[in-house]
Amino acid sequence: MADVVRVEPEGDVAVVVIDNPPINASSLSVRAGILAAVEAAAADPAVNAVVLIGAGSTFIAGADLKEFGQPLADPQNPAVIAAIEACAKPVVAALHGAALGGGFEIALGCDARVALAETKVGLPEVTLGIIPGAGGTQRLPRLTGIPKAVELVCKGARIGTEEALALGMIDAVAPAELRAAAVAHARAMIGKNRLRDRPVPDASPEAIEAAAAAALKAGRGRPAVRAAIAAITVAAETPIDEGLAAERAAFQELRTSREARALRHQFFAEREAAKLPGLDAKPRPLARVAVLGAGTMGTGIAISSLDAGLPVTLVEQDAAALDRGRARISDFYAGRVARGALTAEAAAAREGRLTPTLDWDSLGEVDLVIEAVFEDLDVKREVFKRLDAVARPGAVLASNTSYLDLDAIAAATSRPEDVVGLHFFSPANVMRLLEVVRGAKTAPDTLATGLALGRRLGKVSVVSGNAFGFIGNRIYAAYRRQCEFLLEEGASPAEVDAALEGFGFAMGPFAVGDMSGLDIAWRMRQSTAASRDPSHRYVTIPDRLCEAGRLGRKTGAGYYRYEDGKRQPDPATVAIIDAARAEKGIVPRAIAAEEIVERALLAMVNEACLLLGEGVAPRASDVDVVLTNGYGFPKWEGGPVFWATERGAAMVARNLDRLEEASGAGFQRGDLAAIFAAEPV
C-alpha cells in the first residue's frame, strides 16, 4: 500500500494520494490501498472528511487492462466504492488530468467531485468491448438522466470540465490549487451525498428510445453497446443494488469475450507501435513545418499540423492552386465554427499560423518539409532535387508517397540521411494512421523526428521498412487481388462487398475502389507491368473497366453505376466481367459469403507473414494497427493477425493450403512462424 497509496493528513482531512505512475491505473495494489485508507479514516475520530487525489499528471485514468484477461483479484472496484459510500464521513474526489473508466466510477462513488480546468472525465469502456462494471451505468444516469447517459457511455465520450459541470458530473471547478480546493470543499460538506440515494431524473419513453436507437446505429449494434443500453435504461425502475448486480454480471461476461480481447489487443498494439526497438535517438527540433502541395492531401496535412499548434508554410507552384488550397483550409475552419466545434477565435488563431506562398526559398526557414505532390516517381525526384537546394542543413525532408521507392526519392538529394517517408491517409486531418517509412540511409534522429511529429499530430504512428506499398497498401493489394480472383470465379462485386461489410469492414473493396478512383490502382499496375511474370494469375477485369472509362464515382460508373450519389449494380459491369471469364474459359460458380471472407482475410494474413519475414513490419501487432486504423478492418476483430491467432496455427495452415490452390500460379506462401512463433505450425 505504501508504494502506490499514501495518506497525508491535513488537519481533520485525510488526503489519500494515489501514486501509481504513469496514469495511476486502478490496479490491485491501488484498489487495496484506497480501501484500507478509507476504512482507516472512517474509524479515526480525528478525521472528519476524506479527499482522494492523484499524484503526478492525472487522477485515476482507468483500469489496469492487463488484469482483464484473467480472474480479477479482490478487492475489486465495487468493493472500494461500497466502502467509500459506507464511510460516514464525506469523501471528495479531486480530479485533474483524466478521470476515466474505473477511475471516474470511483469518483462517482464519492460524495462530491472537484476538478481542475482541462480535466477529462468519462466512461470509455464500450470502446474496449465491455461496459462500466463498478456502477457507472447506475450512478451516471442519476446525474445526467437516462438519454444523456446512454449517449455518453455508448460513445465512450471523454468530456471537459465545462460540459461535465453543466451535466452535474462534477460539482466544482478549482480555480488553481486543486488540493486546497478539494480539502476546503470536503470541510464545507455536511453529511453524505451519495448518488445511490438520488432518483433518476424523469425522461420520456420517446427520448430514451431515440437515444438508444442512435447509440445502436453509431455502435453498429455491437454487444457492449446493447449491454450498456440495457443496463442504463433500467436504472430508473430497478433498485440500485439490483442494477449494480446486473451491470457487474454483464461486465464480467463481456470482459472475457473474444471482442473484448480483440479490442484490448488493439489498445496495447497501438501503444507499442511507435516504440521502435533499438531507436534511442532524440528527435530534431520541430518548431515549424512546411507542406509542399496544396491539393486535398496537402491541405489535410496542413490542417492537422495547424490543429497541433504548429506554424505551417504551404507552398505551391502556381497562384490558382495556392488560392484553392488556402480556400479549402479556410472553408474547413468556417465549417467547424458553424457547427459549434470550434470558436471563431480559435479558428482564427489556427488560420493565423498558416503562411501560403509561391516562394520555394521560404522552405529554408522550416525544420521539416512534407512533400504531398502527384504520386509519380519522376515528379517526386524532381521535387526533392529542388528541396535539396533550398532546405536548410539538418532539415527533415519527408515524402507522403503511398507506395513509391523512398530510396529512389532520397537519392535525388545529397542528404538521403535526412529523408523519411510520412504516409498520411486521406483525409489527413481525420485519419489517425501515419506510416513512418525508414529508408536504407534514413538517420535515426530523422526517423525519431517523424515519430515525434506523429505524436504531436495525435496520430497512431507505425514504422515501416521501404518496400512497395509499405505495410498497408501492400497488404491491401493482396486482399484486393484475392477479391478479384473471387470475382473472376463467379462472385459479383455486390456479393463480395456485402460479405466483407457483413464481417465488419466499413466498405467492401469494390465500393472502396470506386470511391477512391480505379485509375489509382491502374497506374500502379501499369508501373509494374513490365516486371510482371506472364505465367502468374492476373485478373484483367479492373483494367477493362478503366479502359472503358469506368473509373468509379468520379465518372459515374466503375464496378457500380452511380445515380444521384447512390450505388447500384450495372449490367455493363456484368458484361465486362462475363467477357473476361469467357476469355479464360471460366464457368462461374456460386460462392458463399463465408468463403469470400475467409479467403480475403487469409490473403491479408499471408501477406503479413511475408512482410514480417522481410523485416518491412517490425512486429506482427503493427500489421493489425495499420489495417484497423487505415483500411477499415473492424477493430472488434482485432486485425488480421489477431483474427488468425484466435484460430490457431494448424487451422490457418490448412486454410492457407486451400487458398494457395485457389490462387493459382504466382501465389507466394508466407511463413506462419512469423505470427505463431510460440506455436507449432
Residue numbers annotated as active site: 105, 125
505/512 Cα distance (integer angstroms): 11
Task: Please state whether the peptide bond connecting residue 75 to the residue before it is cis, i.e. omega within 30 degrees of 0.
Answer: yes
User: The dihedral of CA 320, 322, 328, 333: what is its sign?
Assistant: negative
Q: Residue 556 is which amino acid?
A: G
As a whole number of Å, the end-to-end CA separation of the chain is 45
Q: How many residues does the chain have?
A: 681
Assess contact for 450 and 422: CB atoms under 8 A. Answer: yes
264/258 Cα distance (integer angstroms): 10
φ/ψ bin of 536: left (φ > 0), alpha (ψ from -120 to 50), beta (otherwise): beta
556/559 Cα distance (integer angstroms): 10
H or E segment at 49? Answer: strand 49-54
**What 3 state SS string does 370-436 have?**
EECCCCCHHHHHHHHHHHHHHCCCCCEEEECCCCCCHHHHHCCCCCHHHEEEEEECCCCCCCCEEEE
Helices then strands (H, E): number in the chain?
Answer: 28, 19
Dihedral of the alpha carbons of 55, 58, 60, 61, in degrees to the nearest 10: -150
Q: What is the DSSP letter of 18?
A: E
